[in-house]
Amino acid sequence: MAPILTIKYLILYMTYSTVLQFTYGEFYTSVYKLSLLISEEQRLIKALKKYIAEEESNDNTIEHELYSILQNAEDEQSQIADPDLYPQNPINAFHLIYRIQRDWPKVHSIIFCDTCELDNSAKDFDLSYHVAERHLDGLPSEADVEGATNSIIRLWNVYQFPLKDFFDGVIFGTETKPLSVKEILYIARKADVNDNLYEAFHWLNELYRRFKNGEYSNSGVTVETVAKTLAGVYNRNGMPDKSLEILEDFKQDPKLSRDLEFYKMRSKSLPPSQRKSKFKRTGFTTTRKLQMNYEALCRGNTKSSKALAQLYCYWRTSAIPYLLVKEEVVNNNPKITLFHDVINDAEIRFLQNISSSKIERSAVLRSFDGRVAGGALTEGRVSQTAWLSDFEYPLLRKLSKRIEIITGMATEHKHRFCESEEYQVLNYGVGGMYESHLDPLLTDITVGGATVFPLIKTRVPVEKGAAAFWYNFKRNGDQDFDTQHAGCPVLLGSKWVSNKWLREEGQMLRRKCGLDKDAIDTVYSNDLNAQWLS
């Protein structure tokens, strides 16, 4: 395997952060795709307004729901000052996906009902509808809504923001239109269905508390519905007595009588070994300790003061003697560094622009040509990827040469005997992240999005135009398991990242073996002559 250089944060530093069917656009995995969705909805709004106007002029009957959906869509669009910034808030992103996935297919089915006349106005709307679908590779699916739901739950778990603020549309001081009761209930129920009872309980409990305080009286959801759902979560967690306690206030409601009888029976029959007194988080994809380390690092630095005192920044010499490089050491062993000001704004825009038309859902593994077909799609990776070759773009060859000058590593990408791989450019979606892993991949904003190494309590900060660099193999050829790393979920912002993987076979004469099998890279290496401590 190869040493890794990752151009960490190729992002215009804007302040943000499926049914797996390839016929859908998978919007929740890319903030960029969500901005396109906003633009295409404007096309649909114009088409629906035109359809309604023509039908009215012909004195045809129009379903009232079409007026309602149109008015709602126009109201929502009027609140979007900047289509690029709007979906960088996860609440906005969820609003957008949830509403469009439900409303616009319904509009199409109403206009093209079995008994409806297929006139020219309907055909015109159908044309605009399919143009939007083609531009977006399909409208959002139910899987997009579920993916956005999982991402919001993940953000809450990792960053521990207060639910009372989140329900009001506030995330760490950033305010937007709050989630509706139906949206909150959808998120809580999905958590329940996915056996995330800890998360379902906290969301439902806050919702129920607000209902009891007289909020949400005109929400279209009843307090009985919330109470019944909360009671079900208590029961599934082995707490039927709490289910009875919740429903006691509604014992006169005939719709809940069967639920009450069931919980009474279960309260008597449930053995002590299956009873619980509180909710605990479950469903960790790694060990609980590793997950807790990961989440703590996402929230901030966890190194001791003594360890932090051993880190430093300095001017490093490069392959060009008069060219000094800003290097920040963020961990000593294994050595992990952050090179500052590696790529400029114009180069960032270039990479974003040429990648925008190429991105597709990121896989955990990839085939020889880098396409998704060779890898597995997973909720552990919420991003979309484009692969760019040095052969295609002179600017990329120039950038590869710059990386070689800075690191001293061979970076040429060619058809055979490659020293490096293509550039991988990623855009992250709602709560975009990549779970802890050992492959040489780096994911990573205004809030969130850092890259963390849970085993060594190391956090690489987010910085536009900087590049993180480390070796994932030791000098003796053994894999360095301490470089296991993960991208923190993006809470506020839009994250663009580009990776450059440098292959081991291309560095045989550049990063040589040490004098013994335990040789390591020095932290003070102010020149490109490889040094190590035996």
Regions in the chain scoring below 70 on pLDDT? 1-29, 359-383, 415-417, 429-446, 505-506, 522-534
What local confidence, expressed as pLDDT, does residue 209 receive?
Answer: 97
137 is written with which tokens?
């590779």
Which residues, 6+ apart, have CB-to-CB distance to 3 below 8 Å?
A: 409, 469, 470, 471, 472, 473, 502, 504, 507, 511
Return the closest-CA partner of residue 149 out of 207, 191, 201: 191
**DSSP characters over 108-140:** HHHHT-TTS---HHHHHHHHHHHHHHHHHTSPP
What is the tens place of the pLDDT at every residue in 281-303? 987 777 888 899 999 999 999 99
- Looking at 3.40.630.30, 1.20.120.80, 1.10.10.10, 1.25.40.10, the CATH number of the domain 52-274 comes to 1.25.40.10
Domain boundaries, the chain: 3-14+303-511, 52-274
| Chain-centre distance for alpha carbon 252 | 45
pLDDT tens, 482-516?
988 888 888 888 778 888 888 776 677 777 777 77
Q: CA 433 → CA 107, 251, 375, 443, distances in Å? A: 34, 45, 17, 6
- Beta-strand runs (E) in 394-475: 420-428, 434-437, 447-448, 451-453, 458-460, 467-471
φ, ψ at 330 (rounded to 5°): -105, -15
- CATH superfamily assigned to domain 3-14+303-511: q2cbj1_9rhob like domain (2.60.120.620)
Which one, of 95, 32, 93, 98, lies nearest residue 360 by Cα? 32
Residue 137 and residue 286: Cα distance in Å, rounded? 34
The predicted pLDDT at position 480 comes to: 86
Quick: pLDDT tens for 202-255: 999 999 999 999 999 889 999 999 999 999 999 999 999 999 999 999 988 999
Tokens of 294: 């990961």
Task: Specify burial of residue 251 (Cβ count, 10 A radius: 0-12, 13-18, 19+).
Answer: exposed
**Model pLDDT, residue 521:** 73
Contacts of 197 (CB under 8 A, 6+ apart): 191, 233, 236, 237, 279, 282
